[in-house]
Amino acid sequence: MAHGRKSKRVLIYSHDSFGLGHLRRCREIAHSLVASGSDLSVLILSGSPIIGSFDFRARVDFVRIPGVIKLRNGEYTSLNLHIDIEHTLAIRASIIENTAKIFDPHLFLVDKEPLGLRGEVRSTLAAMKARGTACVLGLRDVMDDPVLLAAEWQRKNVLPTLSDYYDDIWIYGLPQFYDPLAGIALPDSLRKKMTFTGYLNRHVPETAPIFVPDKISDPFLLVTVGGGGDGEEIIDWVLSAYETDPDLPYPALLVLGPFMGSQYQADFLHRANRLDNVEAITFDAHIESLMARAKAVVCMGGYNTFCEILSFDKRALLVPRTTPRMEQYIRATRAQELGLARMLVDDGVRDPRAMITALRDLPQQALPSDVVVPGLLDGRANVVKLAEQWLERGLDRLKIAAESGDFPVAIGQGAK
């Protein structure tokens, strides 16, 4: 039967509405898992429209489900299909569940959303639990303002899902930095399932191409806003600083992001072209290589960028957003309190002089490595150890379930 195959299989779900954060985190985890053993394969379920722009290691593949986009009012709509959101979610849920049943994973790892986008993973969780698959929820270090998260999870009735379906909860951070579930009255049984892994450390892939700027040269200041869908204000603020003060310490490389509006991209590219010490590009799938070369970083403070700042030991200025979630603001605040980075609050005015002062202070700023935080970057190693434990349990449970006849043979698999 399906469980008789020697290879271990991990299925990762990433809801990916708009942005790069969830996809990049899941990709890093997948690469870490396959690097730990030659008998492991990972399949990623993602709604990202640009997942094909990234390269994946051997034994890592993906299934792209129809994309959705989160509007500024918090509602979702279909990204490309001219059908309503309910039909889109029904298609996504069907693809997710059937892919899971056919792939027949030993471990099902769900990123951030316990029930998936609008509950689309609920039926898959039930099916995987019945088959004996180990189910794990992975959470970033900061979710949202504790009060807002508590209200959201109560509205979605999340706690019964955590109790009924999930075997473990991995938090990709450290409790001394932040507890993302501090505002939720979790029973002891759920608290015992929580494991803080440390941050997911990054490295430059050996095959990453070397980007050669047209105008500027190393050392440069890297300005990145992730996917770019809500990063226009920061790019505009940095450009205004360089337009006001052409003698800033380092030239700047702006990475606008693939989801930034085309009108904004065109305007920023035009403004950058007029400055001798600023260069702008729309996207680089190997941002790690740029981060490693940068003298310092200006960013919004998303999870992946923060991991890269710590991994490559870069001085950083965090300019966090506060909507639709407080995640980045909380992370930036804690990073500044611990001396890992500096924060510049976006007051809505965005005076170029405030940004100029912050950029001029960057070279004198302490490095993240100047602060000793035990276990800070142990995330990848700990995730691998945890996964190996649950993969073994998943193998045993799948075998028991199969022998008892609790679930059918996976589609396309004959009895062995």
pLDDT digits (tens, 9 = 90+) for 205-244: 888 788 889 999 999 999 999 999 899 999 999 999 999 9
Of the candidates 281, 297, 371, 374, the residue with the CA atom closest to the CA atom of residue 335: 371
Angle between helices 122-131 and 379-404 (to 10 degrees): 70
| Rounded distance between C-alpha atoms, residue 111 and residue 190, angstroms | 17
Number of Cβ within 10 Å of residue 259's Cβ equals 20
Instruction: Answer yes or no: is pLDDT of 399 > 80.
Output: no
288 burial type by CB count under 10 A (0-12 exposed, 13-18 middle, 19+ buried) = buried
250 Cβ partners below 8 Å, 6+ apart?
219, 220, 221, 295, 296, 363
Is the CB of residue 233 less than 8 Å from the CB of residue 206? no
Is the CB of residue 137 less than 8 Å from the CB of residue 159? no
Tokens 């030659």 label which residue? 38
| Rounded distance between C-alpha atoms, residue 379 and residue 97, angstroms | 29
52 Cβ partners below 8 Å, 6+ apart?
64
Could you list the beta-strand ranges (E) of 283-338: 296-299, 315-318
Instruction: Answer yes or no: is pLDDT of 170 > 90.
Output: yes
Task: Say what the alpha-carbon torsion angle 176, 181, 182, 188 is, to the nearest 10 degrees.
Answer: -100
272 Cβ partners below 8 Å, 6+ apart?
239, 254, 278, 279, 280
pLDDT range class, residue 397, cuts 50, 70, 90: confident
Q: What is the pLDDT of residue 1?
A: 39
Q: What is the pLDDT of residue 225?
A: 96
Q: What confidence tens digit (pLDDT) does each residue in 10-50 have?
A: 999 998 766 788 999 999 999 999 999 889 999 999 999 88
Q: What is the pLDDT of residue 6?
A: 63
Quick one: DSSP state of residue 228? -
Is the CB of residue 306 less than 8 Å from the CB of residue 329? no
Angle between helices 303-311 and 21-35 (to 10 degrees): 50
Q: What is the pLDDT of residue 5?
A: 53
SS3 category, 204: coil
Tokens read off for 319: 């300019």
119-123 CB contacts, 8 Å cutoff, 24+ apart: 119/156, 120/15, 120/89, 120/92, 120/93, 120/96, 121/13, 121/93, 121/96, 122/161, 123/93, 123/97
Which is it for the CA torsion 403, 407, 408, 410, positive or negative?
negative
Q: Does domain 221-370 have CATH number 3.40.50.2000?
A: yes
The residues of the chain that CATH labels 3.40.50.2000 are: 2-201+377-404, 221-370
Which is it for the CA torsion 383, 389, 393, 395, positive or negative?
positive
The domain 2-201+377-404 is placed in CATH, from the list 3.40.50.2000, 3.90.1170.50, 3.90.79.10, 2.60.40.420, at 3.40.50.2000
Q: What is the pLDDT of residue 323?
A: 87
Predicted model pTM: 0.92
Instruction: Answer yes or no: is pLDDT of 350 > 90.
Output: yes
Quick one: DSSP state of residue 364? G
